């Protein structure tokens, strides 16, 4: 039987992941086109002065035991990525300048004993929700469930931090079902961590697998358009006008950019466009990468809570006020997770935070304020850091936007209430035959990159079942 010709637009986790799976099945002739010179989209990594950086990521949920690792196992190369778990020390919280290890140092939050009991009651309730009820619970927010147990603002600050870090949305937007599903998986696998060589090593391994299985990968090759004839995808058009014919087209560019720019809205029914236009993206992060002349910390992953005046914070966030010191910051010591991430004797720390509503036309002063606010948090997390800085590199959401579009967001279409489970964007294009969507947008479950890998696994299963 002749192989089906598949073209994939984009080498993010979704695109490279599904490409690896399809090429390995032996049923498809895979060609992948990426517009950037780096492989991996938001998961890509690059090198500067012997330091290895990621475009985005900080920590990967479930590593080899989750969706990202499952793709490698299915293509027969589980060892092509070496995972380093974030253990000894485990990820912890810095609460207003004080390191608090959970759960044994929960007293460090300064909570009265009855509040500690209420946290336990909340967890017992949430984690006992049976899987078949998750969809129903997805209509309620983590915030609203927590309020049934406690209205203590310090307790809320912890859950708010976790929701902002997992899903880059607020606790008032996070659905209970998805939060519980992801939390339970992480508690059972106990394998959050980081891949050796940077996050880019994951999509690079997928791309290597595509090539090993006879597929082709083209970098620096932007796709101008998806060729649609009589409601059917027939291939892609390159920037130079050349058409590449295909039986199946898969877009990793995100549902909305694919519809708006690669296919064209004229091919879609109004109700499909209305549904797509209603989706909201996750929040944005800004990041500061800090190269140090010597190691200053043994930590692997620190999450910083600078404030627990939650009602005031809610108001400030709504108004887009950037505080003096940013709160809800992730600050891993990347070179403690992966010693090869920097030259010997040095250290690499990355801090990220944000999710502020970005003004319509943010100017340099706005971004400078965000950078200062983020760096002020870093100085509290890692006291004395200023004395050892070789250089810093600030990446704002506008840089992410320039590279990948979609408003500089972190995850893709967010997992807020009304956008999870059966309400996720489509995997199978509803108006264009033989066109499929594969990215974090069309993934159903998981955190960050896992959502994109989930999309790849689902699409592979669907195509194989046809």
Ligand X SMILES: Cc1cc2nc3c(=O)[nH]c(=O)nc-3n(C[C@H](O)[C@H](O)[C@H](O)COP(=O)(O)OP(=O)(O)OC[C@H]3O[C@@H](n4cnc5c(N)ncnc54)[C@H](O)[C@@H]3O)c2cc1C
The binding site for ligand X (CB under 6 A) comprises: 9-15, 33-36, 41-43, 56-60, 222-223, 252-253, 285, 287, 352, 400, 404, 410-412, 439-440, 447-452
Question: Based on CB atoms, which residue is closest to ligand X, 98 or 243?
Answer: 243
Q: How far is the CB of 155 from ligand X (least distance, A)?
A: 24
CB of residue 33 vs ligand X: minimum separation in angstroms?
5
Tokens of 52: 């290895």
For ligand X, the closer CB: 6 or 451: 451
Residue number with CB closer to ligand X (155 or 168): 168
Tell me the closest approach of the beta carbon of residue 35 to ligand X, in angstroms: 4
Nearer to ligand X, 412 or 421 (CB): 412
Residue 103, preceding bond cis, omega within 30 degrees?
A: yes
Nearer to ligand X, 149 or 166 (CB): 166
Residue 72 CB, shortest distance to ligand X, in Å, is 15
Q: Say how far apart CA 466 and CA 464 lie, in whole Å.
A: 6
Q: Which is nearer to ligand X, 146 or 217 (CB)?
A: 217
Q: In this complex, which beta carbon is closest to ligand X, that of residue 119 or of residue 302?
A: 302
Give me the least distance between CB of 237 and ligand X, in Å please. 10
Tell me the C-alpha distance between 330 and 287, whole Å: 9
Pairwise CA distance, residues 355 & 58, whole Å: 16
Answer for the pair 61, 192: CB distance below 8 angstroms, yes or no: yes
Give min distance, CB of 128 to ligand X, in A: 27
Which residue's structure tokens are 């870093």?
378
Task: Quote the least distance from Cβ 190 to ligand X, whole Å.
Answer: 17
């Amino acid at each position: 039987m002749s192989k089906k010709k598949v073209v994939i637009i984009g080498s993010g986790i979704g695109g490279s992941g599904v490409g690896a799976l399809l090429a390995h099945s032996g049923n498809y002739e895979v060609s992948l086109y990426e517009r950037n010179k780096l492989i991996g989209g938001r998961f890509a990594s690059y090198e500067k002065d012997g330091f290895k950086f990621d475009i985005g990521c900080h920590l990967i949920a479930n590593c080899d035991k989750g969706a990202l690792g499952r793709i490698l196992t299915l293509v027969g190369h589980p060892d092509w990525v070496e995972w380093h778990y974030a253990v000894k020390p485990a990820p912890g919280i810095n609460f207003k300048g004080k390191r608090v290890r959970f759960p044994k140092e929960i007293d460090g939050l300064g909570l009265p004993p009855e509040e500690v009991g209420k946290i336990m009651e909340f967890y017992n309730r949430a984690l006992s929700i049976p899987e078949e009820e998750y969809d129903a619970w997805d209509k309620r927010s983590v915030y609203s469930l927590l309020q049934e147990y406690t209205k203590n603002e310090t307790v809320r600050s912890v859950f708010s931090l976790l929701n902002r870090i997992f899903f880059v949305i607020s606790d008032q937007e996070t659905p209970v079902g998805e939060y519980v599903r992801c939390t339970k998986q992480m508690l059972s696998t106990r394998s959050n961590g980081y891949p050796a060589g940077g996050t880019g090593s994951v999509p690079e391994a997928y791309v290597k697998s595509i090539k090993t299985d006879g597929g082709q990968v083209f970098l620096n090759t932007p796709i101008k358009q998806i060729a649609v004839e009589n409601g059917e995808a027939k291939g892609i058009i390159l920037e130079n006008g050349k058409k590449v014919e295909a039986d199946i087209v898969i877009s990793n560019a995100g549902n909305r950019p694919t519809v708006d720019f690669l296919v064209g809205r004229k091919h879609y029914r109004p109700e499909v466009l209305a549904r797509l236009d209603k989706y909201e993206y996750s929040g944005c992060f800004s990041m500061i990468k800090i190269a140090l002349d010597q190691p200053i910390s043994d930590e692997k992953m620190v999450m910083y809570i600078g404030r627990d005046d939650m009602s005031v914070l809610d108001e400030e966030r709504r108004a887009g006020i950037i505080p003096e010191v940013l709160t809800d910051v992730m600050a891993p010591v990347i070179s403690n997770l992966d010693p090869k991430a920097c030259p010997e004797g040095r250290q690499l720390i990355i801090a990220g935070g944000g999710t502020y509503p970005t003004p319509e036309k943010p100017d340099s002063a706005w971004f400078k304020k965000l950078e200062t606010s983020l760096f002020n948090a870093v100085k509290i997390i890692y006291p004395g850091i200023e004395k050892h800085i070789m250089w810093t590199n600030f990446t704002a959401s506008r840089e992410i936007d320039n590279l990948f579009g979609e408003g500089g967001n972190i995850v893709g279409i967010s997992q807020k209430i009304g956008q999870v489970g059966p309400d996720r964007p489509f995997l199978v294009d509803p108006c264009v035959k033989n066109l499929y969507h594969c990215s974090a947008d069309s993934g159903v479950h998981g955190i960050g990159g896992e959502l994109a890998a989930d999309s790849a696994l689902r699409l592979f299963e669907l195509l194989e079942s046809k």
